[in-house]
Structure 1
């Protein structure tokens, strides 16, 4: 009951705020590119044509991931690494759609918080699987396993963000100074380096997996501490109410 009241108060308060401030009111960002990213999104949301809906932007982001998959497939079967540059374009499109879908709804003051949240998470997972599948096609021999590990670790990170939201009522998609935007940029740089030098992507992909594993371990420990704190607070509240 109190949780529903809090959410109702949040929505009522946000309805009276400035349009651009309302764009970011539903989440907390800590990534290193946060300031530049928010300025860019604030600029773009005012220029997206009215006929383009949040759902269209969500599927645009997913289409970007399809391009990444296509880049890996074409580079593999046409034996031309230059097709990997299609993946760089795909990552940019993915950022555009994924970053603006929810923001445009808040800017227009027509948010569908739980519908949008659910759709966004599902399509983010689909995008992750598509990119992982693309790398699996491109990778040589035993390095295919790295694609599976990447998908598992990124899925683990997504689960952590959802559980943190459940425990704290604060939605954050970042792990410290690293968020999805930074990961896209890192992957794009790796693709460019692979085009230029060749046969480096396996080592970079392995490095990303090791880094993600370490971040997930740290974030999982933090999450469990938050859960323990909330449990203690709820026990005290029940004791005081008795």
Structure 2
């Protein structure tokens, strides 16, 4: 509830400094690159032209995922060098995904639930597109890894939504690792794959194993939070009776 109060208090602010504070008040971040990422977003959000809307940035982020898909397909049938398109695509995906809601808050025109819903849907679409691209590129023995990655990332997204429902605080990170770190790891994997070839499946397997472990830990934490919330509501109900 305190987080919701912070959101309301930061909707109106008279100074540029407060405008930038408002940009980051709608969610809690714990990822290792949080400080550098927020500085970058603060720099960029003030320089987005007025004609570029939040919806346009969301669409741009999704186009980045399409570029990753295209890179995998072209690498499969033409040249492995096309995997570098995926690096550019991940950068574009980060740009659109990171700035869409931030721009709305900075301009003091947020549509909280509309933006939240659209962001989640397009994040899922992006995940599926990237997984599909790897499915096309992977050698037959490793195609299952693409499916597992999509399932595990979807699991992580579900955990974040349920945690929001239980705690009223929205967080997209699992400890020190968030979507930005995942993008950087995948980009590095693409570069290594371009140079050496047929190493991506081993890295992808490692990511899947790591995501599985993180999801198990986060699920246990989520259930404990749910138990605490149930206990609080039960006590409140008994006190009201």
TM-score, L = length of structure 1: 0.96
| Pair 1:173–1:11, CA change in 2 (3 A) | closer
- 1:34-183 maps to which residues of 2 (within 5 A)? 34-78=34-78, 80-183=79-182
| Equivalent residue runs for 1:161-240 within 5 Å | 161-240=160-239
4+ runs deviating over 3 angstroms: 9-12
Deviations 1:102-128, CA, capped at 9 Å, x for gaps: 000000000000000000000000000
Q: 1:207 to 1:75 in 2, by over 3 A?
A: same
2:11 aligned residue = 15
2:62, 2:126 within 8 Å by CA — same for their partners in 1? Answer: yes
Q: 1:6 to 1:219 in 2, by over 3 A?
A: closer
In the TM superposition, what is the alpha-carbon distance from 1:16 to its structure 2 partner?
Answer: 3.3
2-side partners of 1:196 and 1:140: how far apart?
A: 17
1:220–1:89 Cα change, 3 Å: same
CA distance in 1, matches of 2:43, 2:8: 25
- Could you state the TM-score of these two structures normalised by the residue count of structure 2? 0.96
Q: Following TM superposition, by how much is the alpha carbon of 1:142 offset from its aligned partner in structure 2, in angstroms?
A: 1.8
Give me the CA root mean square deviation: 1.3
Write the distance in 2 (CA, Å) between the matches of 1:87 and 1:120: 21
Long gaps (5+) in structure 2: none
The number of equivalent residue pairs is 237
Per-residue CA deviation, residues 148-179 of structure 1 (Å, 9 max, x unaligned), is 00000000000000000000000000000000
Partner Cα separation in structure 1 for residue 205 and residue 6 of structure 2: 42
Deviations 1:1-30 (A, max 9, x none): xx7x984x5454112341000000000000
Instruction: Tell me the distance in 1 between the aligned counterparts of 2:131 and 2:50.
Output: 34
In structure 2, distance between residues paired with 1:202 and 1:15: 45
Tell me if structure 1 keeps the 8 A contact 2:6–2:25.
no
